[in-house]
Amino acid sequence: MPNNLSTLEPYLDIHPRIAAALANQQPVVALESTIISHGMPYPKNVETALLVEQTVREQGAEPATIAIINGRLTVGLDKAQIQHLGERGLEVIKTSRRDIPFIVAQQLDGATTVAATMIIAAMAGIKVFATGGIGGVHRQAEISMDISADLQELSRTSIAVVCAGVKSILDIGLTLEYLETQGVPVVGYKTKVMPAFYTQSSDFEVDYQLDSAASIAKAMQAKWDLGLSGGLVVANPIPAAHAMDPEAIEQVITSALVEMQQQGIQGKQTTPFLLAKIAQVTAGESLAANIQLVLNNARLGAAIAQELARLE
């Protein structure tokens, strides 16, 4: 248990089943909620969120979906709360690090990004987090300066984020450079190539290839035992059967980026706009791929959480 839990108590609600699991050193996997409210359309978002939880449970770990509900930092949503976030969709405020105090103070609901979910998961003492994709350095960031707060969070908050790599709506090379500068390791699970979300590969290599959940857990333990705080990225390629054609997806992304510029979309709307556009243009193929890769990450996240619990 983190020792500052008592000062957090007025703000933090940890579901009893998760509090019990953490107290007994049982494996727990954090899950985010921006992917529910902003990342997928209703009702697939709700179905997927519940299926991801079930998958984590089947793999022997406790799922903890995280959001802000009525201003309460909530670790372990119930079914009704997931339904609520999914149904209200874009009306729920996308909440990253900067937004948290305002959502709390005004007792609002917040769908937490990777960054905000990391923060709240760490408050609860969770060490492993599974999602689809992380934010990153956007293409042409040299003009927009659009760099996701997820990257900065990875440098400061000690949690492993299992994802399917970085989507090529972003500049994958610059994202990796940024992570290197911030001292955030990028581990490839059974791959030395950085995966690109919808596809298994990109033009870039990861820092370290590790081939088992146990070896990833060992590296996490060594990092934190040595006082090297901060997170790490575990890049887990989408299963081959669900991967998309790299050229087709690149075309879709390029035209979505053009449309985004024409419509003047910027700031926090960027990522959700591009995701929705891609899903629309690919007639749901990208959504199906997205769901499969999240499930795949949930399985690996659960396995890493189990190995970590064993080491502790």
Point out which residues bind ligand PSU (CB under 6 A): 32, 34-35, 39, 96, 113-114, 132-135, 148-150, 167, 268, 271, 275
Residue with smaller CB distance to ligand PSU, 92 or 210? 92
32 is a catalytic site residue: yes
- Among Mn ion, ligand PSU, none, the one that 281 touches (CB under a kind-dependent 5 to 8 A) is none
167 is a catalytic site residue: yes
- Among ligand PSU, Mn ion, none, the one that 236 touches (CB under a kind-dependent 5 to 8 A) is none
Q: What are phi and psi of 256, to 5 degrees?
A: -65, -35
Residue with smaller CB distance to Mn ion, 209 or 269? 269
- The catalytic residue among 94, 127, 167, 268 is 167
Residue with smaller CB distance to ligand PSU, 163 or 213? 163
Put residue 74 in one of left, alpha, beta given phi > 0 → left and psi -120 to 50 → alpha.
Answer: beta
Q: Is 26 helix (H, G, I), strand (E, B) or coil?
A: coil
Residue with smaller CB distance to ligand PSU, 39 or 86? 39
Q: Looking at this protein, which amino acid is placed at residue 16? A: P
Shortest Cβ contact with ligand PSU: which residue?
A: 39
- Among Mn ion, ligand PSU, none, the one that 34 touches (CB under a kind-dependent 5 to 8 A) is ligand PSU
Q: What are phi and psi of 228, to 5 degrees?
A: -85, 80
133 secondary structure, DSSP code:
-
In whole angstroms, what is the distance from residue 60 CA to residue 274 CA? 34
- Contacting residues toward Mn ion, per CB under 5 A: 146
- Among ligand PSU, Mn ion, none, the one that 50 touches (CB under a kind-dependent 5 to 8 A) is none
Nearest by Cα to 130 from 189, 204, 88 = 189
Tokens of 34: 């921006």
H or E element in which residue 6 lies: helix 5-8
Shortest gap between Cβ of 69 and ligand PSU (angstroms)?
17
H or E element in which residue 260 lies: helix 246-263
- The catalytic residue among 32, 53, 153, 285 is 32
Catalytic positions: 32, 167
